[in-house]
């Protein structure tokens, strides 16, 4: 059975999709961009600040569904430029210091709202 998951502590979807969908024991979190849910605006700064906000948004959705970062099995990191890869990793690894999930990271031509990063996440209990 499919269950829609939404958190008020993460930004609202900017299109026709859900923040996350739970199917069985698996939680699929849509790509999160660095929007501060309190202001509805993209956070200032560079890739580190934007990655931190994305991870906070993912955390809020995980919490809403009663999951944690230790339940994450796969992440896909979309970057506006691979020059940001190392700095993104510095923030990302704080959330996955032990037993990190499988991951793909690559640069794309453009991301929604002109952001530097978007991360989608899959978690399983």
| Main-chain phi, psi angles of 59, to 5 degrees | -60, -45
How crowded is residue 33: how many other Cβ atoms within 10 Å of its Cβ?
A: 23
* % of the chain exceeding 70 in pLDDT: 100
Model confidence pLDDT, tens digit, residues 81-109? 999 999 999 999 999 989 999 999 999 99
Model confidence pLDDT, tens digit, residues 31-52? 999 999 999 999 999 999 999 9
Dihedral (CA of 55, 60, 65, 66) sign? positive
Please tell me the total count of domains within the chain. Answer: 1
18: containing domain: 2-124
Work out the mean pLDDT of the chain and round it to a whole number: 97
pTM, two decimals, is 0.96
CATH number of the domain to which 105 belongs: 3.30.1330.40
| Main-chain phi, psi angles of 89, to 5 degrees | -60, -35
């Amino acid at each position: 059975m499919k269950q829609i998951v939404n958190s008020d502590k993460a930004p609202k979807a900017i299109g026709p999709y859900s923040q996350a969908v739970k199917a069985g024991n698996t939680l699929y979190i849509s790509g999160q961009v660095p929007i501060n849910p309190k202001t509805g605006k993209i956070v200032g700064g560079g890739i580190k600040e934007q990655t931190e906000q994305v991870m906070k948004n993912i955390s809020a959705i995980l919490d809403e569904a009663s999951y944690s970062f230790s339940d994450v099995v796969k992440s896909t990191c979309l970057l506006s430029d691979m020059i940001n890869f190392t700095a993104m990793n510095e923030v990302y690894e704080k959330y996955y210091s032990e037993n990190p999930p499988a991951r793909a990271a690559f640069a794309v031509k453009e991301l929604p709202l002109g952001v530097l990063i978007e991360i989608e996440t899959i978690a399983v209990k």
